[in-house]
Amino acid sequence: MTNTPEIQEIVENARLGKESAFKKLLNTYWSDVYRFQFAKTNNENEAEDITIKTFSRAFDKIDLYSDNYPFKSWLITISKNIFIDSIRGQKKETLSISKENSEAFYISDDAPSPEDKIIIEQNLTELLGHIKKLNNKQQKIIQLRYFQELSYKEISLSLNESMSSVKVNLMRAKKLLSEIIELKK
């Protein structure tokens, strides 16, 4: 199964950098990718975050997309890989062995160490400095999503913008913030 001629044209326009094409792809496939992630995570916020990362990565790498495969399949593959990466990053377990009955248990340890807390504070201060380099609209959308932890719908209502506009603007703000951070390294 390949793309319809309409989707193929939208992909070509996205490759040319046309913003309207990115919005159409986002609107067309958002639900499919989100549902896939929600089924994996069973967590709305995590599913939304991975879905945004999926579109961000796909749009950054759109030139690598092969027209021989459906665009939706390509997105789901990217999404699956991001999910796997997030699972790998979350696993922190300690082995506990009971002396009484020689049983072994894995205990999850999510608490940051004192060193981790210091690093987190330093990184947060540095991150806030980088965020201030974004324009006011981008700062606001980052602040609403990641510091106030609002859903996309709540951000949409707060900013009086469509959800697709919020998603695209957040994706752009994150990409620009990433570029600012990379320049500092």
If asked whether residues 18 and 61 sit together in one domain, one would say yes
- Indicate the pTM of the whole model: 0.57
- Domain endpoint, select from 58, 89, 120: 89
Say whether both 16 and 57 belong to one domain: yes
Q: Is residue 45 part of a domain?
A: yes
Q: What is the pLDDT of residues 41-79, one digit of tens each?
A: 898 888 988 999 999 888 888 888 888 889 999 999 999
Residues 138, 75 share a domain: no
Angle value at C-alpha 14, between 82 and 8, nearest 5 degrees? 95
Residue 27 shares a structural domain with residue 81:
yes
| Contact (Cβ atoms closer than 8 angstroms) between residue 51 and residue 79 | yes
- Rounded-to-integer distance, Cα 133 and Cα 128, Å: 9
Residue range 135-152, pLDDT digits in tens: 998 889 888 888 888 888
- SS3 of residue 4 by DSSP: coil
Indicate if 77 and 123 belong to the same structural domain: no
Q: Are 103 and 83 in contact (CB under 8 A)?
A: no
Same domain, 55 and 122: no
Residues 117, 158, single domain; the answer is yes
| Token pair recorded at residue 70 | 């459906």
Q: What sign has the CA pseudo-torsion 147, 41, 76, 82? A: positive
107-118 mean pLDDT: 57
pLDDT at 92 exceeding the cut of 90: no
Contact 152, 48 (CB under 8 A): yes
Q: Are residues 165 and 116 located together in one domain of the fold?
A: yes
Print the domain residue range for 79: 5-89
The CATH number given to whatever domain includes residue 170 is 1.10.10.10
101 found inside a domain: no
Percentage of the residues of the chain whose pLDDT score is greater than 90? 21
CB 31 within 8 A of CB 38: no
Residue 104 sits at φ, ψ, to 5 deg, of -115, 140
The helix (run of H) or strand (run of E) holding residue 104 is strand 104-108
β-pairing verdict for 104-108 and 93-97: antiparallel
The total number of structural domains that make up the chain: 2
Q: Distance between CA 87 and CA 80 in Å, rounded?
A: 11
CATH number of the CATH domain containing 75: 1.10.1740.10
